[in-house]
Amino acid sequence: MHERDYMEGTRGTMAVDWEQRIDTERLRRERTERALERLRDSELGSMLLVNDPNVRYVTGLAMTGGSGADHYTLLTEDGDVVHWDTADHATNQRFNCPWLDDVRYACPGLGNVPRASGSPSAREFLVGTMADTVREAQREYGVASAPTGVDVGTRRLHDALAERGADVRPGVADEIMADARKTKTRDEVECLRQVAAVCEAGFQRIVEEARVGRRESEVWGEAVRELWRHGAMVQGGYLTSGPNTWPKHQANTTDRTIRPGDLVYADFYNVGYLGYRSCYYRTFSMGEPTEAQREAYRRAVEDLYDVLERIEPGVTTDEVAAAFPGREGERMDYYGADEHWQMTTNHWAHGLGLQLYEVPLVWRGVSPEHPIEIEEGMTMAVETQRPADRQGVRVEEMVVVREDGVELLSRWPVEEITRRRARCRRRPCRRVRTRPSR
């Protein structure tokens, strides 16, 4: 495992003048430079970015989803950035984002807005107008005749641009942005380290709140409150208990009452800090775990660290995936599964960044036949699980690949299940005076 340097690690979420923390100006600049460098090495003259994480990567704007393509960005080979957004957002961006020189009003040509119109002619009008806005900007910046990349595979938008004279090259922009984002800058790594620290505050809240008689939803609500208190954007995650921990529940926290002997599983995924997403889970026990629960947890941790010890620059994903459990460890007979691709999300490692799944993916479902190389600066979450007496344990670590192995970004203790000791509610004993014997 990579050992961090002295004082290297999270330093707080507030802006201060007495300590070097995340440099957001450098974060924005280095991300845009990476995308631009790869654009210039390609056949394209510009890229139209519609995918939210790609828009944020280039512009620094906090994209939170929305109703469809009501925001989009053009990046040209000369480094010009044009951004379109809804009228209220664009107005605020012109005031609050001085690093953006050209912010315009968007026409929502894709997604829910044209769909809600209920009119084929309205949909044609909206996507056509969106294409008009893009072509107008391309002419202004001198890239109208150069090949254009679009990061979404939407035929209607591609056709609308082509009808207006654009030379659209499908798939190229996707590859450019995936390559730019697959390794992280120092500030991106620090954002992921910070979101891991925020998740740990949530785990601590679970330790304090989870007890027999509480409902899953009550405990999860307190954990989410803690995440928001630390400045996180909580867009996913859940907590389950007892039989809801195996097989993995359908990503829902329920009103089930926690009972003695239960395992409690908390998954903090898609918790964001400056847009960078977590995937981090831990298992807790209500009181002393059973021998079966201890053994399942021990094996899950061993599985996890067998994988972590293989990750280093230069190895390929098929070599790493071989350390994940095979058919027996995956319990494929239990699930009635024949192929590893049917076991999505149980045992794998996936990239982390401005979205939950980025390059690389390390998984028996694809890696043996389609390997890629692990590179220094990649960040990922590594996930394992094991069943125990009709319940389940799950363990996950967030890491960054260093030249000599991986550095753990996650720091919650992993050696054994975190126990929530049952409170003793015995009646207090009264002292009884005894008569002295005569």
Q: Would you state the pLDDT for residue 19? A: 86
What are the C-alpha distances in Å from 337 to residues 68, 343, 344? 36, 7, 11
Q: What would the mean pLDDT of 60-85 be, rounded to a whole number?
A: 87
Question: What domains does the chain contain, in order, with CATH numbers?
Answer: 24-181 (3.40.350.10), 186-420 (3.90.230.10)
Residue 376: φ, ψ to 5°:
-60, 135
Helix (H, G, I), strand (E, B) or coil at 403: coil
What amino acid occupies position 211? R
Helices 24-40 and 172-181: crossing angle, nearest 10°?
Answer: 140
- Alpha-carbon span 356 to 417, nearest angstrom: 25
Give 433's strand partners: none
The three-point CA angle 138-140-141 to 5° equals 65
Please give the mean pLDDT across all residues of the chain. 92
What amino acid occupies position 374? I
Burial class (CB in 10 A: 0-12, 13-18, 19+), 270: middle
Q: In 10 A of CB 101, how many CB atoms?
A: 11
Tell me the HSE value of 80 on the side-chain side, using a 13 A CA sphere: 15
Query: Is 60 a residue whose pLDDT tops 90?
Result: yes
Query: Is 435 a residue whose pLDDT tops 80?
Result: no
Structure tokens at 28: 């924005």
| CB 50, CB 69: distance < 8 Å | yes
- Alpha-carbon span 370 to 380, nearest angstrom: 18
In the chain, what is the straight-line distance between the N-terminal and C-terminal CA atoms, in Å?
A: 74
Q: Would you state the pLDDT for residue 17? A: 84
Task: Kindly report, residue by residue over 189-200, the tens digit of the pLDDT.
Answer: 999 999 999 999
- Alpha-carbon span 255 to 242, nearest angstrom: 12
Q: How confident is the model at residue 6 (pLDDT cuts 50, 70, 90)?
A: low
Task: Kindly report, residue by residue over 263-290, the tens digit of the pLDDT.
Answer: 999 999 999 999 999 999 999 999 999 9
Torsion angle of alpha carbons 95, 96, 102, 106, nearest 10°?
-90
Helix (H, G, I), strand (E, B) or coil at 319: helix
Residue 383: φ, ψ to 5°:
-120, 135
Closest by CA to 271, choosing from 311, 227, 312, is 227
Write down the residue that tokens 């050209």 correspond to: 102
Write down the residue that tokens 């919650």 correspond to: 412
Q: What would the mean pLDDT of 148-166 be, rounded to a whole number?
A: 95
- Alpha-carbon span 93 to 102, nearest angstrom: 10
Task: Kindly report, residue by residue over 370-395, the tens digit of the pLDDT.
Answer: 999 999 999 999 999 999 989 999 99
Q: How confident is the model at residue 425 (pLDDT cuts 50, 70, 90)?
A: very low
Q: How confident is the model at residue 427 (pLDDT cuts 50, 70, 90)?
A: very low
